[in-house]
Structure 1
Amino acid sequence: MAIGEVTVIPIGTGSTSLSSYVADMQRVLETVEGITYELTSMGTIIEGPLARILAAVEALHESPFTAGAQRVSTSLKIDDRRDKPSTSRSKLESVERKLQAD
């Protein structure tokens, strides 16, 4: 399973507020099968098979265009670990254990 972090920014929307676009994109994610996701203040974490993450990112990238944006900038980071299962939560727990050991 891979972990992706995606940030989608509609450009030239006429407003500095983007929360309506973010809400629309979260609704889009609800329709993508085979992933789990978590909204953060700066982006969205998506977990699942790499192909499903990429499908979700494509849907997210298209969403602002559907809502009227004329330009969209999308940034994607992928952590695809194949030697053992990994989740966003397990990565955080690993760091927390190390912090407690100090």
Structure 2
Amino acid sequence: MGDNDLYAVADFCLIPIGTANTSVAEEIAECQRILAQSGLKYKVPGYGTNIEGPWSKVSQAIHDCHAAVHGKGAQRIATDIRIGTRIDRDIPTGEGNGLKVKRVEEILQKDEA
């Protein structure tokens, strides 16, 4: 990661428009192939995809997903993207989403005590 490249934790939901099928499984599978090649940590929790790494690589991976899904015939794509960065502490590579989830779980465990 370059000195000016922020570590980004992102969630995006790619929505193909104008396909002949109401299912988006084929298009999402194509995007997952792209993400697997990117070397970035990602997870598909159901709706949307979590991805993290250097901002430039995260942005490039989302771009590459768009290009691949267009390549499968989608004439239009709408994508919702949320990206978070922080500079107040170091985030171990690949742990951004996991650390957020862990912190929430710790808070909820206090409720059970």
TM over 0.5: yes
Q: Deviations over 1:37-72 (max 9, x none)?
A: 111210110010111111111111222110001111
Q: Does 1:24 align with 2:34?
A: no
Q: CA deviation at 1:85?
A: 3.0
The counterpart of 1:70, out of the listed 60, 71, 75, is: 75
Detail structure 1 runs of 4+ shifted over 4 Å in the superposition: none
- Between the two proteins, the alignment pairs up a number of residues equal to 101
- What SS class does the counterpart of residue 84 from structure 1 fall into? coil
The match for 1:42 is: 47
Structure 1 residues not aligned, in runs of 5+: none
**Bigger Rg over Cα:** 2
- What SS class does the counterpart of residue 33 from structure 2 fall into? helix
Structure 2 residues not aligned, in runs of 5+: 1-6
User: Relative contact order (alpha carbons < 8 A, sep ≥ 6): 1 or 2 greater?
Assistant: 1
Q: TM-score when scaled to structure 2?
A: 0.84
The match for 2:3 is: none
Q: TM-score when scaled to structure 1?
A: 0.93
Over aligned residues, Cα RMSD in angstroms? 1.1
Query: Percent of counterpart pairs with the same letter?
Result: 35
